[in-house]
Amino acid sequence: GLRKWFDINKSLGPLHLARAGCEWYDTGRIGLLLDAAVDLGGLHLGLSGLGVSFAPFDPKHAHPHFVLRGIEVRFRGGPVTIGGALFETTIAGAEAGAAITQYDGMLTLRAGDFTVTAFGAYALVAGAPSLFVYGVLHRELGGSPAFRVYGLAAGFGYNRRLKLPAVDQVEEFPLVKAASDPNWLDPAKTSAPGAKETKPRTDRDTVRAVLERLHAFVPPAPGQYWLAAGVRFNSFEMVDSFALLSVSFGSEFSISVLGVSRITIPAKLAPGQTPLCRADLALRAEFNPTVGEFSVQAQLGPASYVFSAACKLTGGFAFCTWFKEPNKGVQGPNKGDFVISLGGYAANFKRPAHYPLVPRLALDWVVTPQVRITGELYFALTPRCIMAGGRLSAVYDGGWVRAWFTAYADFLIAWKPYHYEARFGVLIGASATIRINLLFVKISKTFTFQLGADLAVAGPPFAGTARVHFYIVSFTINFGGERAPQRKIDWAEFRSSFLPADDAVCTANVSRGLLRERGAGDAAIPVVNAHELALDVHTQVPCTAIRWLFNGQVIGAKTLEAKTLDAPSAPLGVAMVDAPDTSLKVSELDVDITLEGAAGVPPHFNAEALYEAFPKALWSCAGDKSEGDLVTHAAAGVRLQTAPTLRGTVVVPAEGPESVTPPPCRPWRAMKQATPPRRPEASLGSLIAGDPAIEARRAAVLAVLRAITPRPLHDVDLTRTATRADTVFRSQPRFGGAGEGLRRPKVLDA
């Protein structure tokens, strides 16, 4: 609708009227608005957009609606200072849906050296509340010299998602900044030095600026929740740190750590003195099984230096691995890939999109106005190669004379077969400019001297090229003979270098349904829930065929030739093996299920193929030109799980659970519904607690439950049940499969 404001700026005692307004809505409602404030002593309470709306021409909808679009509060009395605000805003809806109305707020309390800051937001999304609250305490709480606590932080989100910032944004992330910097939202700080009216920084404008930055990081997300806890501490008066641990759960699950550290050496100096070294480090670590990624990233801040504030340090570190488990036989897109990088990657390395960006480990030192030294280093390890390198440069600029020096080195190393490439270079130069003034003629001439050499080597066998350039003359020298083709290895060397021991090439584990293990070590026997049982068989070699057998007889098979196995992203092979044909022709995985005394009976298992990613350096054909370092979606095993129709019972003899032999499974569908028995002449209480035979059978069942459940079972006392026998067990018994939940009947017999 339309809105019109009228300035008032009048005070009536403690009441200050700033402005009044009116609104006209398309629905025919009329609204009256007021901006006002109350000042009582040191308390200031401001109300923004306080209003009421009603429909004057529609009696059915004439009831008023009250609104309040913002509250500002300030209090200063003695050592106590309070400042905060709550305001209405419009944000994007849950998971980028329709826009919704949200209330953002912040409150800061300070009393002496005790400072608490809390901020949060509330919204109603699809009729359900969505909110988050985050609070920070700034106060020294004590501890040892190695870990002395100076502050705490905690928060939670309900129907909210917590999105992590990039590593270079961690230091300015509001949840981290509010806890790591006590002065960031200090209510004692004024908006302008020497201002006539002292206003805390936590007024409406500051609150809005801070919380608007959080809209993108803590958006509404129905079904998603998070908890966070942090601590700010100091170690030996040299390292100030803050670490925030958060756990997100609900529709997705992840565990993350955000942190910042600042090291200053020496720590305590007189005013005006500069520390020898300062390093600001930001940390971001996340474990996200939903995406299938574990990553740790760290990066130096722009204020880091060594020796002098003019000697700047930059750089970063990253370790990432991708492990998403197969879902219905389909792997995560990057499963099996990993990267470790310190300072980034080689210039000629094509970084995959899922690899993180890592800045160079670099030094930039302006020693004097005339002398500047720069340098950089990097190292990276991927499934395909190792790379490392560095560069050092020094420049002297004296105006009319200049001199420079540059040296660099880059390495690329592959393993098994051993192969390397390296480049080295050095450049030395100088220039001088001579200027002569003859009356009205100015003559300027620059003389340049430069000598450089570049060396490129590769092997084995060792061979390379050297290039020398002197001013305008250059020449190239080849040495070591012709470049030999990549050395091949035999299968025995490949097997001993890249495959584990024979008994570890294939592994089997219970992926679902494990209750506990009886015994320890190699003699441990798994106790499983047969109705949820899933067995995963993995192999370290990609498969061209998978067969599963029962007592030695093939009952199912999948092969690449028959196209029942999905094709991998690239042809499988062993290119480094010395063979005429390097393609992987036959790699069969056989899984045999053995059941004693049941030859020829099909097992109650369903089977599906599992897919993973394998390094191309090991498992690709010669001449493969496909992109990436991995052969993705290659068959690597089979998952066997009990069929959905498997339902059965176990008969327990009275002598105890150790001698139990499970009988063949019987589907519940083959059992007939029990005929309701007539009400016995004896009381139910006597049947429950008075029959020795029933008690013996009950004790045997209880012994089995104690043997298979991971938690201890207490003795069962049915005395109270027996005394209330007339009011229990009134409904007829109903059958259901083990593990199935029975629906509660709509009508219960009283």
Confidence of residue 59 (pLDDT cuts 50, 70, 90): low
pLDDT at residue 380, as a whole number:
92
Q: Is the dihedral of CA 735, 741, 747, 750 positive or negative?
A: positive
pLDDT at residue 567, as a whole number:
84
More confident: 308 or 344:
344
User: Over the stretch 603-628, which tens digit does the pLDDT of each residue have?
Assistant: 677 888 888 888 887 888 877 777 76
Mean pLDDT of 250-274: 86
Mean pLDDT of 256-284: 87
∠ CA 528-663-644, nearest 5°, is: 55
Report which of 287, 285, 358 is spatially closest to residue 322, judged by C-alpha positions.
287
pLDDT tops 60 at residue 192: no
More confident: 7 or 688:
7
- Dist CA 343 CA 357 (whole Å): 9
List the structure tokens of 56. 């004057």
Helix, coil or strand: residue 167:
helix
pLDDT at residue 528, as a whole number:
83
pLDDT tops 50 at residue 663: no
pLDDT tops 90 at residue 157: yes
| Residue 271 CB-density burial (10 A; 0-12 exposed, 13-18 middle, 19+ buried) | exposed
Q: Do 125 and 93 meet the contact criterion of CB atoms below 8 Å apart?
A: yes
What's the distance, CA 124 to chain centroid? 27
Give Cβ neighbours of residue 561 (< 8 Å, ≥ 6 apart): 544, 545
pLDDT at residue 496, as a whole number:
81
pLDDT at residue 559, as a whole number:
87
Report which of 327, 234, 225 is spatially closest to residue 536, judged by C-alpha positions.
327
pLDDT tops 70 at residue 433: yes
Helix, coil or strand: residue 703:
helix
- Dist CA 165 CA 173 (whole Å): 7
More confident: 441 or 320:
320
Helix, coil or strand: residue 478:
strand
Q: Do 143 and 275 meet the contact criterion of CB atoms below 8 Å apart?
A: no
The answer to whether the bond into 460 is cis (omega within 30° of 0) is yes
pLDDT at residue 165, as a whole number:
93
DSSP 695: H
SS (H, E, C) 21-90: EEEECCCCCEEEEEEEEEEECCEEEEEEEEEEEECCCCHHHCCCEEECCEEEEEEEECCEEEEEEEEEEE
pLDDT tops 60 at residue 230: yes
How many Cβ atoms sit within 10 Å of the Cβ of residue 668? 15
pTM: 0.66
Q: Tokens 């912040």 map to which residue?
A: 106
pLDDT at residue 679, as a whole number:
52
- Dist CA 750 CA 202 (whole Å): 61
Q: Do 156 and 192 meet the contact criterion of CB atoms below 8 Å apart?
A: no
> Any idea how long the chain is?
750
- Dist CA 733 CA 195 (whole Å): 81
- Dist CA 321 CA 336 (whole Å): 7
User: Over the stretch 529-584, which tens digit does the pLDDT of each residue have?
Assistant: 877 888 889 898 999 899 888 888 888 888 887 778 888 888 888 887 878 788 88
Mean pLDDT of 666-670: 43
Mean pLDDT comparison of 334-348, 458-472, 614-628, 644-658, highest-scoring range = 334-348
Strands (E), 99-253: 100-111, 114-125, 128-144, 147-160, 220-235, 239-250
- Dist CA 100 CA 124 (whole Å): 8
User: Over the stretch 237-261, which tens digit does the pLDDT of each residue have?
Assistant: 889 999 999 999 988 899 999 999 9
pLDDT tops 80 at residue 455: yes
Give me the amino acid identity at 729: F
pLDDT tops 70 at residue 656: no
pLDDT at residue 725, as a whole number:
66
DSSP 270: -
Q: Do 468 and 453 meet the contact criterion of CB atoms below 8 Å apart?
A: yes
Give Cβ neighbours of residue 287 (< 8 Å, ≥ 6 apart): 254, 255, 256, 294
Q: Is the dihedral of CA 619, 625, 628, 634 positive or negative?
A: negative
Residue 176 sits at φ, ψ, to 5 deg, of -85, -45
pLDDT at residue 205, as a whole number:
64
- Dist CA 125 CA 222 (whole Å): 8
List the structure tokens of 167. 């590593």
Mean pLDDT of 213-235: 91
| Residue 648 CB-density burial (10 A; 0-12 exposed, 13-18 middle, 19+ buried) | middle
- Dist CA 434 CA 446 (whole Å): 6
Helix, coil or strand: residue 668:
helix
pLDDT tops 60 at residue 8: yes
List the structure tokens of 497. 């270098």
Report which of 372, 366, 373, 413 is spatially closest to residue 389, judged by C-alpha positions.
413
Report the percentage of the chain scoring pLDDT > 70.
Answer: 80
Average pLDDT over the chain, rounded to an integer? 79
How many Cβ atoms sit within 10 Å of the Cβ of residue 666? 11
The strand pairing partners of 295, in sequence order, are 286, 320
Report which of 577, 701, 564 is spatially closest to residue 638, judged by C-alpha positions.
564
pLDDT tops 90 at residue 185: no
DSSP 747: S
pLDDT tops 90 at residue 646: no
Mean pLDDT of 491-495: 83
Residue 208 sits at φ, ψ, to 5 deg, of -65, -40
pLDDT at residue 186, as a whole number:
54
Q: Output the DSSP codes for 506-553.
A: EEEEEEE-EEEEESSGGG-EEEE-GGG-EEEEEESS--SEEEEEETTE
Mean pLDDT comparison of 226-240, 265-279, 468-482, highest-scoring range = 226-240
pLDDT tops 50 at residue 641: yes
User: Over the stretch 79-97, which tens digit does the pLDDT of each residue have?
Assistant: 888 888 888 888 876 665 6
pLDDT at residue 415, as a whole number:
67
Report the percentage of the chain scoring pLDDT > 90.
Answer: 22
pLDDT tops 90 at residue 283: yes
Q: Do 445 and 430 meet the contact criterion of CB atoms below 8 Å apart?
A: no
Confidence of residue 675 (pLDDT cuts 50, 70, 90): low
List the structure tokens of 348. 């000629």
Strands lying side by side in the sheet with 545-550? 553-559, 545-550, 588-593
Confidence of residue 196 (pLDDT cuts 50, 70, 90): very low
Helix, coil or strand: residue 707:
helix
